[in-house]
C-alpha cells in the first residue's frame, strides 16, 4: 500500500494525491490518503473528497497520532533506520528516487512537479473531475467560457498579502505582469477581444484595480475552490499566479493549443528552487 500524508490547500493536495496515485499504479497496490492533519489544520479545507479519487481516505483522530506521524518524529525514526519505507521531502526539486520507493512507501512532502505523474495524465484527468451537481451550479459561467475564446487570470492575494512570512517566500504578481500577459495572449491568438475571466481570493481588489477590456470577474466560493479550478481548466488559455492552485487550473486544461503564462520567478525567496515546478511548454514572464 502507498500512503500519502496530506497537508496544505487544494493545490498541494492535488500534487500529493497525484504522486501517490502514480506510485500506486506503478506497483499495482492500493493508495491510502491520510487526511488526519485536517483535524488540527484550519487554514485550508480538505477538498479531495469532491473528486472521483482512486484511493481510500483515512483520518485517525487524536493528538498522539499527530505527534507520532509528524515529520520531526518520523525523521528521527528514519535516522535510526526504523522507517525505511518513509520518504520525507528535503528539497522542492524533483527527486526521481520517489518513484522507486517501493510498494509500501509512506510519503511526506509537496512534490510540486509534473515529472512525478505526467505518465498518468489521462488517469488524473478522469480522477480530478468535480461532481455533476457542482458543474450544473456553475453552468451559466461555463456557457460564458466555452462559448468564446477565453483566458483565465488568477490573482493570488490572501495570505501572500496578510502573512509577512508567506510574502517573504512567495511575493506578489503585480499589475504589469497581468497586463503584459493578457497582451501577449491576445497578440498570439490574434484576438484583441479575447474574453478574460478573473479568479481571485480577493475579487473586490481585482474589480477596483484591474483595468481590462472584455473582462469577467468570477465570484468564487471559498468553501468549494475546486469549482474555480474546474472553470479555469475550461478556458482556452491560462495566466496563472505563483500559486499551486492556478497551476492546477492550467495543467487540467485539455486544450492542445493552450497558452499558459506563469511568473518567471515563482518564489520571492532565493533559497527555494523553482526549476521543476513549471512545465517546459509554459511561458515564463
Q: What is the pLDDT of residue 165?
A: 61
Please say if the pLDDT value at position 52 is more than 60: yes
Helices (H), 28-57: none
Q: Is residue 79 helix, strand or coil?
A: helix
Please provide the average confidence, as pLDDT, over all residues in the chain. 89
CA distance 103 to 112: 21
Residue 257 vs residues 112, 142, 235: alpha-carbon distances, Å: 24, 19, 11
Q: Which stretch, 27-31, 137-141, 154-158, 193-197, has highest mean pLDDT?
A: 27-31
- Rounded to two decimals, the pTM is 0.93
For the segment 88-101, the average pLDDT, to the nearest whole number, is 93
Sorted by where each starts, the structural domains of the chain and their CATH numbers stand as 2-123 (3.40.50), 132-284 (3.40.50.11350)
Lowest mean pLDDT among 212-221, 244-253, 264-273: 264-273
Amino acid at each position: 500500500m502507498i500512503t500519502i500524508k496530506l497537508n496544505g490547500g487544494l493545490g498541494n493536495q492535488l500534487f500529493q494525491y497525484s504522486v501517490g496515485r502514480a506510485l500506486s499504479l506503478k506497483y499495482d497496490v492500493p493508495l491510502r490518503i491520510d487526511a488526519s492533519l485536517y483535524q488540527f489544520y484550519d487554514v485550508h479545507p480538505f477538498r479531495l473528497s469532491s473528486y472521483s479519487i482512486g484511493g481510500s481516505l483515512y483520518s485517525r483522530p487524536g493528538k498522539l497520532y499527530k505527534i507520532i506521524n509528524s515529520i520531526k518524529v518520523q525523521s528521527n525514526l528514519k535516522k535510526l533506520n526504523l522507517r525505511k519505507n518513509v520518504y520525507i521531502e528535503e528539497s522542492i526539486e524533483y527527486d526521481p528516487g520517489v518513484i522507486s520507493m517501493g510498494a509500501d512507501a509512506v510519503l511526506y512532502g509537496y512534490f510540486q512537479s509534473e515529472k512525478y505523474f505526467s505518465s498518468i495524465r489521462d488517469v488524473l484527468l478522469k480522477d480530478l473531475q468535480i461532481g455533476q451537481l457542482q458543474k450544473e451550479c456553475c453552468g451559466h459561467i461555463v456557457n460564458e467560457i466555452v462559448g468564446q475564446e477565453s483566458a483565465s487570470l488568477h490573482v493570488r492575494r490572501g495570505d501572500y498579502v496578510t502573512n509577512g512570512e508567506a510574502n517573504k517566500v512567495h511575493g506578489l504578481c503585480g499589475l504589469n505582469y497581468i497586463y503584459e500577459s493578457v497582451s501577449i495572449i491576445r497578440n498570439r491568438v490574434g484576438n484583441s477581444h479575447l474574453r478574460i475571466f478573473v479568479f481571485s481570493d480577493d475579487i473586490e481588489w481585482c474589480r477596483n484595480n484591474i483595468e481590462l477590456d472584455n473582462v469577467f470577474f468570477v465570484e468564487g466560493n471559498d468553501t468549494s475552490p475546486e469549482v474555480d479550478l474546474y472553470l479555469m481548466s475550461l478556458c482556452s488559455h491560462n495566466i496563472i499566479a505563483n500559486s499551486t492552485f492556478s497551476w492546477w487550473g492550467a495543467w487540467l486544461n485539455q486544450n492542445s493549443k493552450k497558452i499558459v503564462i506563469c511568473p518567471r520567478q515563482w518564489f520571492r525567496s532565493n533559497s527555494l528552487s523553482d526549476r521543476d515546478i513549471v512545465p517546459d511548454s509554459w511561458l515564463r514572464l
